[in-house]
Chains A and B, each alone.
Chain A
Amino acid sequence: MSQDQSYGGNNLEERADFLTDAEIEQWTVATPIFQDLVSKAQNRGARLFIGPRGCGKTHLFRHAHLGCNKKKIFSVYVTYGKYYHLEPLISTKANAIHIFHTWVLCKLIEGIKESIDLILNLESDIQKREFPENLDPWLTQERLQDISRFINYAEKGIVDNDESSELIIKELSITKLQQIINKTAERFNCTRTVLFLDDAALTLTPEYLVEFFEVFRNLKDRKISPKAAVYPGTTEYGSRFHLGQDAQPEDVWDVDFSSNNTVIDQLTEAERLNNFTSGIQEDVLALLKIASFGIPRAFINLVRYYVEENGNIQKRFNRAIDLHTDLLLKEYKSFQHKLPHYSSVIEVGEVQFNSIVMVLKKKNLELHSSDLKQLMIGILQETTQNDVLLTRMIRFLVEAGLLFPKGNVKHGVNRTYDRFIPHLAFLFKEKAFSGLSRGFNTSNIINYLKRQDAKHPERTTLSKLIPSSDVERLHLDLPSCQNCGTARTLESQKFCHQCGYELINESKYQQCMKMSVEELPLSQWRIGRILQTSLKTVGDIMSHGNVASELKKPYGMGRIRADDTYRTVKIYIEEFLS
Chain B
Amino acid sequence: MLEARSLTKCYSTVPALDNVSFIIRPGEVLGYLGPNGSGKSTTVKILTGLLQPTSGVALFNGQNIQSDLPAYKRQLGYVPEEANLYPFLSGLEYFELVGRLRGLNANLVQKRADKLLRILSLHPHRHLAISSYSKGMRQRILLISAILHNPDLLIFDEPLSGLDVTTALIFRKMVQTMSSEGKTIFYCSHVLEVVEKVCSHIMILRKGKQLAYGSVDDLNRFQSMASLEETFSSLVQETDAEQAAGEIVDAVLSR
Q: Do A and B come from one complex?
A: no
Q: Which residues of B contact A (CB under 8 A)?
A: none
Residues of A within 8 A of B (CB): none
